[in-house]
Amino acid sequence: MTHFALQRPRLALLLSATALTALPAFAQENVTLDPVVLQGQGSPISGGVGYTVTTTATGLKSGAPVTEVPMTVNTVTEQELEDRDPVQIEDALAYIPGIVASPWGMDDRFDQFSIRGFDLGVYGLFRDGLINKAQSFTGFKVDPYMIQRIDVLKGPASVLYGSNDAAGMVNMITKRPTFAHLGEARLSYGSHDTAELAVDWGDVNADKTLSWRLTGLTREGANQIENSDDDRDLLAFSTTWAPTDQTSITFLAHWQKDNMMPNVMVPVAGEDYDSSGGTLPFDFLNSIHPWNKFQTEQASIGWQAEHEFNDSLKIRQNFRYARQSTDYNHLYSSGLDASAPLPENLNYTAFTVDEKARYWALDNQLEYRGRMGAAEHVLTFGVDVSKQIRDGSMGYADPGYTIPLAALNFDQPVTEPGAFTDSRTEVLEKGIYAQDHIRFGNGITVTAGLRRSWVENKTEDRLWGMDSDQKDNATTGMLGATWDLGNGFVPYASYGESFTVNIGQTFAGEQYQPTEGKQLEVGLRYQPQGTQLQLAAALYNIEKSNVLTSDPINAGFQIQTGEVRHRGLELEARGQVTDAISLIAGYSYIDAKVTSSEDGDQGNEPAMVPEHSASIWAEYDFNGAAEGLSLGGGLRYVGKTWADNANSREVDSYLLADMAVHYNWDDYSVALNVTNLFDEDYYSTCSSAGYGCAQGEGREATLTLSRAF
């Protein structure tokens, strides 16, 4: 996780002011903006058409056809978000091949996922091309209702986005003005007495130079865990001013307040404890102490500005400032003795977090388009800076509490544990990058990029006085090509590099070096002529070095001898099969191996990597007498995984079914969405230390009534 901030924010303000004051100088009178320019179906940030998009601004910041990006790009479109109505961002990613959504089970604190077998947690999230990564226990969680599209860029993205995992990134595109009137109000009610009211409204002025949008919701509810909460209040506002078709600036702001539930690890009979003396009752395991809470409040403000000087030269500036406060209590199960009959007491640990986090990110881009010889070049030069600050304390009490089997309940009081950390951390990243996208007349495109990054991490330890200051730098590159054969087939190949920063030192006092990643990928895209069906296949090989592993000599320390290799195959079909049938189908195969390790794991399979996973979602739109009715259904399969790199505990595979029914008439719509239709019991992952397994989400049903206005 990397972020940069100038030591003096006045430079960011100066850059912003320079760009903003320059914009009116190029305004022309009596020019009416065509709304398609900003938000049309062909826009690289639009919601797409049905289940497909044709362009992206995630793979190339200048925006380009998806077929010209020499890496895998998957997109969750606006229509898919509407049809499936996901509750969390991680749920929205569930039908993308190569992604495992919710790998840590029911955990409302963050949006978590793995890409190509690498558990990115919350460190691979971006919003509108700017960082949205977690800091400690602050996740800056985003509600899907304020998002119009999600792009997943597979493979190293460090050239354009700085420090990031070799597996890829997820870029969420915020809803913004459409330069047309829109209005929706909806009321929903679902499982566990969860009720929600939401509004999405926007309009445009008479001469179509100013447009705005207001999105908000309020929700009160719970999930399947006893004593849980699932409450949210959200208000997002955006406005776009476009005095000419060469100039536009969009301001984006939001406020969000959450009251969520921490994760739950459930001890499993016969594995985490000897069940010969009886088993723990499910109604107790499926509950939490009322002391538990995860309460956050966040807000952000920023802009995206663009000015086109002429047909060849364009500048862009993206900026966002965000902050969040987190108040977190957790009394969690801390392990049982698996070698003896059921113990007389259950052990629990009290944990607290009280922290404030904030970040700001600024990305300045200069784009040049022109011909050089027989090729058209799109050159993008960029300077980006970001800074992440986390300030707070954590409390910990272990051994903390015991609960006797004779009286299984959470009635006992919990005392706030003493602090074991109290610190302030700043992570600063700055980078310069260049990318050239070259189009030749024979259907071949070549993309090459290079970046230099500087990262500094400072920690002020107020409790122990162990302050630290760490500096890293990295140079990363990428090279790729696509070839449009003219018959719907587009093969491609690419090589990319990445880096992520590791904070800390070895036992010998040596600073950890960044973990380095590289990927080779070849793929084939195919779209049958005259259809809206997109087919894709990709083969990849990802290698990561300087991975932290346990020090076999000095307990509690780590060394950087680890290397892992993931190679695999991904298949995807997306779009319209017929006029009535929409389809999303995917398959992923991953051959993962620990290739170097000092802790005995060499040759094993890494934890939490399913060898096989697959999914399919289909939507059928009726016509004739049943016009307005649509029926959707899907299956998601995740193969077995290992709980740890030692391969000492296996986690079973699972198959889940989802469904959706929609009926539209006049300005009204009613929808029923159900996930895990058959209420399948499963575990997402398990602990090899006897703490138990993370439960997967049970059946969740939501009935929604909407009205357009």
Cis peptide before 44 (omega within 30 of 0): no
Tell me how far CA of residue 225 lies from CA of 66, 266, 332, in angstroms: 42, 12, 13
Is 390 contained in some domain? yes
- 347 versus 158: which is more confidently predicted? 158
Is 344 contained in some domain? yes
Beta strands in 555-692 (DSSP E): 558-576, 581-596, 612-621, 629-638, 641-642, 650-651, 654-665, 668-675, 683-686
Q: What is the pLDDT of residue 339?
A: 73
Average pLDDT over residues 677-700: 93
Q: How far apart are the first and last CA of the chain?
A: 43
Closest to 131 (Cα-Cα) out of 113, 157, 96: 157
Q: What is the pLDDT of residue 558?
A: 82
Q: What is the pLDDT of residue 511?
A: 79
Model confidence pLDDT, tens digit, residues 392-411: 999 999 767 888 888 889 98
- 691 versus 581: which is more confidently predicted? 581
For residues 651 and 175, what is the distance between their CA atoms, to the nearest angstrom?
38
Per mean pLDDT, which range of 22-36, 161-175, 367-381 is the poorest? 22-36
What type of residue sits at position 139?
A: G
Is 375 contained in some domain? yes
For residues 355 and 394, what is the distance between their CA atoms, to the nearest angstrom?
8
Model confidence pLDDT, tens digit, residues 232-253: 999 999 999 999 999 999 999 9
| CB-CB contact of 694 with 685 (8 Å) | yes
Contacts 24+ apart (CB under 8 A), 12-20: 12/319, 12/360, 12/362, 12/385, 15/317, 15/362, 15/364, 16/303, 16/317, 16/319, 16/362, 19/305, 19/307, 19/315, 19/317, 19/364, 20/249, 20/305
pLDDT band (50, 70, 90) for residue 38: very low
Secondary structure (3-state) at 676:
coil
pTM exceeds 0.85: yes
pLDDT band (50, 70, 90) for residue 39: low
How many residues are there in the chain? 709
Average pLDDT over residues 245-269: 94
pLDDT band (50, 70, 90) for residue 37: very low
Q: What is the pLDDT of residue 40?
A: 57
pLDDT band (50, 70, 90) for residue 171: very high
Model confidence pLDDT, tens digit, residues 455-467: 999 999 999 988 9
Model confidence pLDDT, tens digit, residues 501-533: 887 777 777 778 899 999 999 999 999 998 999
Query: Residue 99 is part of a domain; what is its CATH number?
Result: 2.40.170.20
Decide the pairing of beta strands 125-127 and 168-174: parallel
Q: What is the pLDDT of residue 55?
A: 96
Q: Can you spell out the DSSP letters for 142-203?
A: --GGGEEEEEEEES--HHHHSSB-TTEEEEEEEP---SS-EEEEEEEEEGGGEEEEEEEEEE
Average pLDDT over residues 640-668: 96
pLDDT band (50, 70, 90) for residue 672: very high
- Give the phi and the psi of residue 66 in degrees, each rounded to 5: -60, -35
Tell me how far CA of residue 300 lies from CA of 141, 171, 285, 376, in angstroms: 12, 17, 38, 38
Secondary structure (3-state) at 646:
coil
Query: C-alpha 425: how far from its chain's center?
Result: 23
Does the structure show a pLDDT above 90 at 599?
Answer: no
For residues 705 and 34, what is the distance between their CA atoms, to the nearest angstrom?
33
Does the structure show a pLDDT above 70 at 10?
Answer: no
Percent of residues in the chain assigned helix, strand, coil, to nearest 5: 10, 55, 35
pLDDT band (50, 70, 90) for residue 273: confident
Is 21 contained in some domain? no
Does the structure show a pLDDT above 50 at 36?
Answer: no
Q: What is the pLDDT of residue 41?
A: 62
| CB-CB contact of 329 with 289 (8 Å) | no
- Mean pLDDT value across the chain: 91
Is 14 contained in some domain? no
The total of structural domains in the chain comes to 1
| CB-CB contact of 362 with 319 (8 Å) | yes
Q: What is the DSSP letter of 39?
A: H
Decide the pairing of beta strands 113-115 and 99-101: antiparallel
Decide the pairing of beta strands 293-308 and 313-333: antiparallel
pLDDT band (50, 70, 90) for residue 3: very low
For residues 668 and 646, what is the distance between their CA atoms, to the nearest angstrom?
55
- Give the phi and the psi of residue 510 in degrees, each rounded to 5: -85, 135
Closest to 149 (Cα-Cα) out of 235, 225, 51: 51
Is 28 contained in some domain? no
Q: 170 - beta bridge partners?
A: 125, 152
Nearest 5°: the CA angle 303, 305, 309 is 170
Give the number of other CB atoms < 10 A from CB of residue 368. Answer: 14
Percent of the chain with pLDDT over 70: 94
Sequence-ordered list of residues with C-beta below 8 angstroms from that of 282, at least 6 positions apart, any chain: none
- 547, two tokens: 């991975």
Query: C-alpha 531: how far from its chain's center?
Result: 30
| CB-CB contact of 51 with 353 (8 Å) | no
Is 34 contained in some domain? no
CA atoms within 13 A on the CB side of 514: 27
Model confidence pLDDT, tens digit, residues 313-352: 999 999 999 999 999 999 998 877 767 788 778 889 999 9
pLDDT band (50, 70, 90) for residue 554: confident
Domain of 365 in residue numbering reads as 55-708
Is 189 contained in some domain? yes
Give the number of other CB atoms < 10 A from CB of residue 624. Answer: 5
Per mean pLDDT, which range of 521-525, 554-558, 663-667 is the poorest? 554-558
Closest to 317 (Cα-Cα) out of 21, 6, 3, 7: 21
Beta strands in 42-146 (DSSP E): 55-56, 64-65, 73-76, 99-101, 113-115, 118-121, 125-127, 130-131
